[in-house]
């Protein structure tokens, strides 16, 4: 449970003086005393530590001070067969400067939850070493900044979002490495945000010197405070954190949050959001943005709740307002300008009972300001209402810049392109040097000055021998970007020497031909890439006089593996350098002969009769390219012929079922590889059936 305490220290002469003294002071003295004692810190059970998700990782709260070092270990719960892994060593500070360093580190990591003044560190240090236990420091023990400074809070910044961990802490003697005690934490999940109840906006009130906003949310124990963010409309692009006066009013089931912004300036428009955080810096979902106008309420116009909103389905602005009393009003006058301070003109008048109006006389990409006045039946005009604005957005993406050209000079490049579209804010120019992988932005916004033709001169570190690529992106007044224009190249204006690649070789290794050359692009910057060609002089020992070099491809590397060849091929490769003007060098040639692997003869052939059949058996050939064996058979003086082909097996065996009884046969075996190379004959065997 959080207890927020506000107090008066003296009487102030004015509200302004009081606000000045209270600015940025959010006093919640008993920030989490009961909360920390009852839920988080220092369980009285033996061998107990606590782990909690924090803003940027996980906090591990150690139970007591030790003169020994702690080994911090961690394991992922849902990862099967995982064990604890050491992630850090931790020691308690024994000097004041170490405590100060811890404090400064915490303040850098978690600036939003530092509720301990540095001036109090000396008092904390003295009492800490007096009692040797933070339980004796009732006020400080509940501050994460104090616990971190004293060494009782370890921060694990390596935890990954939405993963469940358990931590183990070992108390170790540095000299003997003896483990005195071991503690394990609860299971903890590092969450990217805390689940808070929704923060609801109630109302806001412009005062003489401040804007006061009221929010309300359901009361919860882990709320520490809220962060306030503001942006000025329509000028600020992003929200910025501010430090107003914040007051908390608590009842049984809700917390009312009053924010007093004394830094707001009159006659401006602001948007606010607030974000709740807990004591460990875990943030919840922010509130919805709140739009507030700040003007002098000493003289309030009779027109209430004037709003302006751009239409989404067509070009126009809708005005809405409220008038409490219309009996004495004859009409309502609507004034419009493109500037807040001047050039307002009467554009429309509407009956007094009308409370909305649509202005179709607007252009996309522009901001329009409005105010209203009542005209009474006595021809008198009321004071001006507050001023509101709306931005007419153009939802159509602009087309890319057209007809982009690049003219190369010695130390600059002149880019030109055409423009015919309306409501264009400007352009951005991107450039890529010859060896860069990505385009980079080189210009600020180039505003539109004239239609038809736009010119931009690039003189930013232009190298005389370098080639550059450019494209241009257009942005309209609604901040929508076009697709990039066509890419153009600016090449050097003079000729440069273009060498052939050197150390060009081709080598047959296993099932590939490795073609290699030395990359000269770092030496000769005018080389853009290489072209590699191939010519097969012979194919399977047949010569071809009509063989020509065929392009394999272009490369920005210095090697290539060729797998498209046949045994017996004689191949020539041609390599050429290509410059940025697409000119090529004369080229270098490397040749390679693809040898045909031999096939080895089987051995150990024997023959015998088995079940009235001639059986042959032999030793297999240890050759990875082997695909089959051929069985040869002959009678008497006849030349043996192939009678069968068999696949290699662990036991090479063959039964001749066609041998005739009483005849004498001669057998031998050969092997054949995948290149159809047949080996010599095995030993011959003779057998009678």
Q: With cut-offs at 50, 70 and 90, classify the pLDDT of residue 137.
A: low
Q: How confident is the model at residue 195 (pLDDT cuts 50, 70, 90)?
A: confident
- Answer whether 168's CB lies under 8 Å from 185's CB: yes
Is pLDDT above 90 for 436? no
The answer, yes or no, to whether residue 43 has pLDDT greater than 80, is: no
Q: What is the pLDDT of residue 40?
A: 42
Instruction: Provide the pLDDT confidence category of residue 661 given band limits of 50, 70 and 90.
Output: confident
pLDDT of 51 over the 80 cut:
yes
Q: Write out pLDDT tens, residues 665-684.
A: 899 999 998 878 888 888 98
Report pLDDT for 19.
Answer: 42
Phi-psi region of 452 (alpha: psi -120 to 50; beta: other; left: phi over 0): left
Pairwise CA distance, residues 235 & 410, whole Å? 42
Q: Does domain 603-688 have CATH number 2.60.40.10?
A: yes
Please answer whether residues 349 and 302 qualify as being in contact, where contact means their C-beta atoms are separated by less than 8 angstroms: no
Question: What per-residue confidence (pLDDT) applies to 441?
Answer: 94
Any idea which architecture 502-593 has in CATH? Sandwich (2.60)
pLDDT at position 431: 94
In this predicted model, what pLDDT tens digit does every residue of 239-263 receive, in sequence order? 999 999 999 998 889 999 999 999 9
Can you tell me the distance from the alpha carbon of 508 to that of 281, in angstroms, rounded to the nearest whole number?
64
Higher-scoring residue by pLDDT: 115, 543: 115
CA–CA separation, 132 and 122 (whole Å)? 15
Task: Give the per-residue pLDDT at 476.
Answer: 85
What would the mean pLDDT of 636-661 be, rounded to a whole number?
88
Based on the number of CB atoms within 10 Å of its own CB, is 485 exposed (0-12), middle (13-18) or buried (19 or more)?
Answer: buried
* Mean pLDDT of all residues in 117-136: 71
Q: What's the whole-number average pLDDT of the chain?
A: 82
Average pLDDT of span 614-636: 88
Q: Kindly indicate the confidence band of residue 651, based on its pLDDT and cuts at 50, 70 and 90.
A: confident
What strands lie across the sheet with 317-323, from one edge to the other? 303-310, 317-323, 356-359
C-alpha–C-alpha distance, residues 486 and 470, integer Å: 8
pLDDT of residue 133: 55
Top pLDDT among 217 and 36 is at: 217
Chain position carrying tokens 């009509």 = 546
What is the percentage of the chain residues whose pLDDT exceeds 70? 87
Residues of the chain with CATH 2.60.40.10: 15-25+193-294, 33-189, 300-392, 402-490, 502-593, 603-688
pLDDT score for 377: 65
Give the residue among 376, 374, 394 at the shortest CA–CA distance from 384.
Answer: 374
pLDDT at 555 over 90: yes
* Phi/psi of residue 681, nearest 5 degrees: -80, 145
The pLDDT of 9-29, averaged and rounded, is 39
In the predicted model, what is the mean pLDDT of residues 465-470? 86
Query: Whole-structure pTM over 0.75, yes or no?
Result: no
Q: Which CATH superfamily is domain 15-25+193-294 in?
A: Immunoglobulins (2.60.40.10)
What's the rounded mean pLDDT across residues 189-209?
Answer: 86
The CATH classification number of 300-392 equals 2.60.40.10
- pLDDT of 628 above 50: yes
Q: What is the pLDDT of residues 583-605, one digit of tens each?
A: 899 999 999 888 877 888 998 99
Please answer whether residues 499 and 520 qualify as being in contact, where contact means their C-beta atoms are separated by less than 8 angstroms. yes
pLDDT of residue 469: 92
Q: Is the CATH number 3.40.50.150 carried by domain 402-490?
A: no
Strand order, beta sheet including 240-242: 240-242, 225-233, 268-277, 290-294
CB 72 within 8 A of CB 61: no
Q: Does 386 have pLDDT greater than 70? A: yes
Per-residue pLDDT, 544:
54
Contacts of 379 (CB under 8 A, 6+ apart): none
- Regarding predicted confidence, which is higher, 676 or 426? 426
CATH of domain 33-189: 2.60.40.10
Q: Within 10 Å of residue 151's Cβ, how many Cβ atoms?
A: 21
Per-residue pLDDT of 169-184, as tens digits, reads 988 887 888 888 888 8
At 483-515, the pLDDT tens digits run 999 999 888 775 568 899 999 999 988 789 999
Residue-wise pLDDT tens digits, 299-351: 445 788 899 999 887 889 999 998 876 666 788 999 999 999 889 999 999 99
Query: How many Å is the maximal CA-CA distance in the chain?
Result: 144
**pLDDT surpassing 80 at residue 539:** no
Instruction: For residue 653, give both structure tokens.
Output: 């065996």
User: What mean pLDDT is predicted for residues 467-490?
Assistant: 90
Give DSSP secondary structure letters for 457-501: EE-SS--TT--EEEEEEEEETT-PBPPP---EEE--SS----PPP
Structure tokens at 504: 């060009």
């Amino acid at each position: 449970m959080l207890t927020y305490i506000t107090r008066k220290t003296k009487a102030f002469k004015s509200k302004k003086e009081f606000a000045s003294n209270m600015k940025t002071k959010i006093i919640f003295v008993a920030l989490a005393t009961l909360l920390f004692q009852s839920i988080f810190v220092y369980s009285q059970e033996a061998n107990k530590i606590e782990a909690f998700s924090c803003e940027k990782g996980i906090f591990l709260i150690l139970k007591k001070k030790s003169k020994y070092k702690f080994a911090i270990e961690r394991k992922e719960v849902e990862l099967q067969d995982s064990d604890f892994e050491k992630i850090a060593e931790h020691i308690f500070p024994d000097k004041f400067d170490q405590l100060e360093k811890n404090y400064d580190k915490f303040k850098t990591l978690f600036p939003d939850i530092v509720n301990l003044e540095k001036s109090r560190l000396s008092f904390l240090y003295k009492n800490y070493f007096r009692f040797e236990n933070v339980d004796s420091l009732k006020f400080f023990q509940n501050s994460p900044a104090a616990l971190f400074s004293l060494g009782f809070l370890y921060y694990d910044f390596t935890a990954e979002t939405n993963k469940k961990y358990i931590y183990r802490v070992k108390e170790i003697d540095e000299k003997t490495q003896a483990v005195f005690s071991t503690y394990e934490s609860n299971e903890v999940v590092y969450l990217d945000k805390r689940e808070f109840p929704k923060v609801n906006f109630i109302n806001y009130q412009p005062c003489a010197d401040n804007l006061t906003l009221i929010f309300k949310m359901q009361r919860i124990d882990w709320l520490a405070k809220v962060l306030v963010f503001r942006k000025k409309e329509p000028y600020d692009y992003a929200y910025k954190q501010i430090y107003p006066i914040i007051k908390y009013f608590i009842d049984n089931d809700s917390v009312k949050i009053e924010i007093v912004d004394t830094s707001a300036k009159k006659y401006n428009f602001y948007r606010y959001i607030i974000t709740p955080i807990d004591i460990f810096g875990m943030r919840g979902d922010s509130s919805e943005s709140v739009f507030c106008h700040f003007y002098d309420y000493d003289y309030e116009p009779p027109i209430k709740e004037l709003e302006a909103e751009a239409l989404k389905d067509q070009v126009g602005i809708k005005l809405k307002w409220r008038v409490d009393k219309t009996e004495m009003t004859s009409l309502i006058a609507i004034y419009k300008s493109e500037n807040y301070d001047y050039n307002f003109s009467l554009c429309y008048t509407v009956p007094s009972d009308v409370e909305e109006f649509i202005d179709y006389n607007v252009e996309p990409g522009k901001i329009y300001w409005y105010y209203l006045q009542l005209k009474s039946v006595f021809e008198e005009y009321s004071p001006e209402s507050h001023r509101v604005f709306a931005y007419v957005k153009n939802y159509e993406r602009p087309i890319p810049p057209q007809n982009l050209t690049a003219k190369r000079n010695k130390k600059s490049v002149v880019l030109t392109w055409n423009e015919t579209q309306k409501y264009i804010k400007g352009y951005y120019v991107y450039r890529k040097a010859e060896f860069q992988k990505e385009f980079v932005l080189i210009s600020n916004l180039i505003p539109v000055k004239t239609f038809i033709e736009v010119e931009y001169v690039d003189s930013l570190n232009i190298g005389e021998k370098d080639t550059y690529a450019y494209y241009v992106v257009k942005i309209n007044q609604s901040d929508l970007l076009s697709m990039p224009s066509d890419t153009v190249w600016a090449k050097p204006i003079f000729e440069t020497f273009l060498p052939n690649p050197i150390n060009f070789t081709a080598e047959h290794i296993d099932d590939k031909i490795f073609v290699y050359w030395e990359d000269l692009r770092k030496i000769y910057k005018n080389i853009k890439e290489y072209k590699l060609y191939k010519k097969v002089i012979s194919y399977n020992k047949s010569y071809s006089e009509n063989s020509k070099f065929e392009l394999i491809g272009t490369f920005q590397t210095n090697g290539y593996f060729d797998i498209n060849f046949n045994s017996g091929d004689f191949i020539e490769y041609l390599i050429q350098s290509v410059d940025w003007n697409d000119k090529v060098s004369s080229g270098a040639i490397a040749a390679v002969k693809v040898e045909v692997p031999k096939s080895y003869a089987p051995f150990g052939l024997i023959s015998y009769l088995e079940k009235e059949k001639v059986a042959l058996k032999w030793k297999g050939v240890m050759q990875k390219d082997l695909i089959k064996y051929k069985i040869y058979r002959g009678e008497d003086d006849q030349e043996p012929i192939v009678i069968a082909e068999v696949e290699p097996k662990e036991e090479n065996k063959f039964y001749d079922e066609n041998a005739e009884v009483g005849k004498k046969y001669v057998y031998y075996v050969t092997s054949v590889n995948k290149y159809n190379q047949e080996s010599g004959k095995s030993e011959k065997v003779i057998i009678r059936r």
